Amino acid sequence: MISGYFVHLLIIISIYLILALSLQLSVGFTGLLNLGHIAFYAIGAYASALLAKAGMPFWLCILAAGLLPMVFAYVLSLATSKLKGDYFALATLGFSFVIYSLALNWTNVTNGPLGLPQIPKPQILGIDFSSNINFLFLAITLAIVTYLVINMITISPFGKTLEAIRDDELAAKTLGKNTSMSKSVSLVISSFFAGVAGSLFAYYLTYIDPSSFAFGNLIPIVVITVVGGLASLPGTIFATIIIVLLPEPLRFLGLPSSLIGPGRQALYAIFLLLILLFKPKGFYGKVDLE
């Protein structure tokens, strides 16, 4: 029983980690305050769930879950290429609302508020991932791959270009860097991993509905990037673990279940504000968000 709960927490940590690392690429490294990350997660989850329900194999579903958000991210980055700071944040937030209302209202495809039940558990090369232990290995592997890829990007010359854009876009431009293209690529890559996380989420719960993709669900991920410190990958891992575990004691306080959700949100919010007020660069952060 205890170990089952532990495995569940580790799976959630892995999924959050993929989301947070990829958000770190656009927010921390490129300086794009991307509030539309949850929409990419949603697109990935729905794409994967629909394909899996149609009997497609796991690798195809998770690949599609990564690729489809990239298309949206590219279009979104073109549309927002001239926007900065607050305006970019609000435009991407608007995008996430549009995707959410599509999930809610496009009932022919998404089944609306009732959601998509009975998503089959994944099978790879004949190995069944329906047990949580096996699924945990899958989730951790993907989280590690995400870490390695994001880390590779951030230490590459391209990663340095992204950081230059974050610190001073005009200067980066003057040095001959194609800044709008780099920002696009950064957003597109980060959307790929968000989609993969969405696919894992859909496979793990075997049921998705729009409520998992409302804007509020992005809050813990944003809190992770701030608490861990912008542009710090080790910080992100550390913060993900803290943020997932932080509200867990609420379960054992005997609160009525209707209060656990708001309790968790309140805890995240207070934690976020305390960090911003007293440790503005997070635990491992090096940079401030412009």
Partner 1 sequence: MFSQLLINGIIAGAIYALIASGFSLIYSTNRFVHFAHGTVSIFGGYLLYWFYSLLGLDFWLAALFSVASTALIGYLLNKIVYSSLRKRKSSPSILLIASVGIMILIEALMLFLFGADVKTIGLIPVSKGLMLFGAFITPLQVAIVATSAILFIALYLLMNKTKVGKAMRAVSDNKDVAEIVGISAEKIYSWSFIFGSAIAGVAGILISLEQNLEPTMGTALMVKGFAGAIIGGVGSVPGAIVGSLFLGLAENFGIWYLPSGYKDAIAFLVLFIFLLFKPNGIFNSGKRVNG
Which residues are near partner 1 by CB under 8 A? 33, 79-80, 82-87, 89-91, 93-95, 97-98, 101-102, 104-105, 214-216, 219, 222-223, 226, 258-259, 261-263, 265-266, 268-270, 272-273, 276-277, 280, 288-290
Amino acid letter for position 174? T
The minimum distance between CB 91 and partner 1, in angstroms, equals 5
CB nearer partner 1, residue 53 or residue 173: 173
112 Rama class: left (phi>0) / alpha (psi -120 to 50) / beta: left
CB nearer partner 1, residue 109 or residue 269: 269
CB nearer partner 1, residue 96 or residue 199: 96
CB nearer partner 1, residue 248 or residue 290: 290
What b-and-e string marks burial along 153-168, b requiring 16 or more CB atoms within 10 Å of the CB?
bbeeeebebbbbbbee
The minimum distance between CB 97 and partner 1, in angstroms, equals 5
Give Cα separations from 41 to 19, 28, 167 (angstroms): 8, 18, 27
The minimum distance between CB 101 and partner 1, in angstroms, equals 4
The minimum distance between CB 75 and partner 1, in angstroms, equals 11
d(CA 287, CA 268): 22
CB nearer partner 1, residue 117 or residue 261: 261
d(CA 214, CA 211): 5
The answer to whether 256 and 52 are in contact (CB under 8 A) is: no
The minimum distance between CB 92 and partner 1, in angstroms, equals 10
The minimum distance between CB 251 and partner 1, in angstroms, equals 16
Helices (H), the chain: 2-24, 37-53, 58-79, 85-105, 107-110, 132-155, 157-167, 169-174, 179-205, 219-228, 233-245, 249-252, 257-278
CB nearer partner 1, residue 128 or residue 248: 248
The answer to whether 228 and 236 are in contact (CB under 8 A) is: yes
The minimum distance between CB 35 and partner 1, in angstroms, equals 8
CB nearer partner 1, residue 135 or residue 163: 163
Nearest to 110 by CA among 48, 185, 61: 48
